[in-house]
Structure 1
């Protein structure tokens, strides 16, 4: 079985093009069920081919353009045997996890960079996410969401002070001021950033508190969603919404940024009794610092699923970003 590779010539083909490579492209799309079977595949990239390419892109979590762009070309040339292996491996992962699920939970799927809010087997909300890059991976774990911080301060982690802030300050000495980040020593005294030698920062200076004020530029955006874990990992809003439109959303330092997070906050607080969407949105807009305990203590699972089928039998695949498929990992203790 399997499917044939599509040639280099298929690259960048789009609706209206004519090329011998379209014949192979159609055969490839028919093999994976993205295009209905035809008796004779001609060399015209017609509306039906466009529909099939878009369906293929959607199944593989790619930006749906209808064009054979680079990510689409590469995804089409993954052998059927590799995809089959992926399905076996992920079936085992899902079986391992299924036993531990409550009726209501939040699941972050890292390879798909998506979040689902599930209730009684139905996905009630689906959110695009940005997750940890390969060298700062989002950890795999199960926990309970217990608190929402509205309009939080952001305390810059020590590792980022050393890795990132020093670099930014050398490039632009006003960076901290522009970002509304203030420095405090152990006694709570404000430190002037210009008194620090950013090219050779001391351990004592790294251990100061670097705190970003609430507001539009805050790295947490309007909220932070806390769950118990030893990794200082949490879900949060972001001022950088443009990343949600990308194919590969692996940009964070381990925490998970959530698109339309206000909707998820409302879903999490629904058992609190005194919250609705209007109240969530107006609290965001007010910039008021507020911490709210989540009555329901909703379970959260961060997972690693690169292949799955929905109830209609449509199979989806994602890239093995952290190379856990390659290692054959099925359980994440």
Structure 2
């Protein structure tokens, strides 16, 4: 597919972290290294900070005026790179890693130098030394990849996207930033879809960051601008018709006990409960019924649901499938957003709701009873699409254009491998 500059410039209407929730973000790690006065051993600092646990280190919201300014600088930087011929392609034929001595390390070093991941003083050689190892990790963090220092297929694919295409991606996302930066309110929740990350922002500072799971390519998470008005503890889960048709009916054809084992009950339009054994599962007629899963450990939303008005019927929630948060590409939901450590976020949302501090919230979960809570001061929530940005001098973040909104097929790395 030929890249269209028109699509780049037109745009479409987040977070820098590439670490698991609760850890310092990629932006924080890189920023600390760049600002350090002891740049001579920056590779050692990088490894130490990249594995450091703790609270949010960088408090700059991704949709802030400062991010706009840094991204404008990044556009100028990449225009200069493109004007000088871009960067070399790195042969994707070997799994290069620390300790290897190979001719392909030469173009790798050159590529890393052009984007600023490797200092020019490191020189050109065939050795994959500690400096190259740290530079590859820095590159991986900037692209939302596991920072293992090894040149695998995803790292090669991200590295061999041309400078021209990356420039276009930055220009497209700069327009998205300009449209929303500084307009989201003084206290809000932001979901950046391509980064699969959540920010809780208050008074222009990020107070919480969470790893998220967002919609699959064929069940996309929509753009949302709403207000969180309800928290449901121990929620019932009402299966959307799309999931009933695509997932539940086929599962019932294979396993007649699926609904029983999953604690899902069937209700007719008049509210009466229906015995699954009386339903003809060979057709799609069952889609006319309501499929409701009881609260409990098997519930698709686990302990809590975060509600807000949405024409698409989406919401945020907990999940019993915690292992999914450790995946590199977290695009596994049917459109809703699953949030790691969601109880921390809910506690923050309920801060001004009388009677619902963390202790009472946890106690309500333990009862196992369905408990709706009306949020006293509804909190704005925004689901936005940002796949390229900068929140520091010389540090540019890129993510996979998972929903193909940036206008270049080269940016849809996940679906192409």
Alignment partners' CA distance in 1, 2:205 and 2:183: 16
Alignment partners' CA distance in 1, 2:339 and 2:347: 13
1:253 pairs, out of 318, 325, 334, with 334
Instruction: Give 3-state SS (helix, strand or coil) of 2:158's partner.
Output: helix
State the 4+ residue runs in structure 1 displaced beyond 6 angstroms: none
Instruction: Give 3-state SS (helix, strand or coil) of 2:124's partner.
Output: coil
How many matched pairs? 325
Instruction: Give 3-state SS (helix, strand or coil) of 1:135's partner.
Output: coil
Describe the shift of the 1:57–1:198 C-alpha distance in structure 2 as closer, same or farther (beyond 3 A). Answer: same
- Superposed counterparts of 1:179-194, under 5 Å: 179-194=262-277
- Superposed counterparts of 1:73-84, under 5 Å: 73-84=156-167
* Alignment TM-score, normalising by the size of structure 2: 0.74
Alignment partners' CA distance in 2, 1:196 and 1:243: 33
* Alignment TM-score, normalising by the size of structure 1: 0.92
Alignment partners' CA distance in 2, 1:201 and 1:105: 41
Alignment partners' CA distance in 2, 1:23 and 1:137: 40
8 A contact 1:63–1:246 mirrored in 2:
no
**Hey, what does 1:133 align to over in structure 2?**
216
8 A contact 2:116–2:394 mirrored in 1:
no
- Superposed counterparts of 1:1-333, under 5 Å: 1=84, 2-9=86-93, 11-38=94-121, 40-202=123-285, 205-326=286-407
RMSD: 1.8
**Hey, what does 1:331 align to over in structure 2?**
none
Cα deviations by residue, 1:8-29 (Å, 9 ceiling, x for unpaired): 23x4212222211112112111
Alignment partners' CA distance in 1, 2:320 and 2:154: 27
Q: Which runs of 5+ in 1 are unaligned?
A: 328-333
Alignment partners' CA distance in 1, 2:146 and 2:250: 32
Describe the shift of the 1:156–1:318 C-alpha distance in structure 2 as closer, same or farther (beyond 3 A). Answer: same
Q: 1:312 offset after TM fit, Å?
A: 4.8
Q: 1:282 offset after TM fit, Å?
A: 3.5
Alignment partners' CA distance in 1, 2:101 and 2:255: 51
Alignment partners' CA distance in 1, 2:223 and 2:178: 16
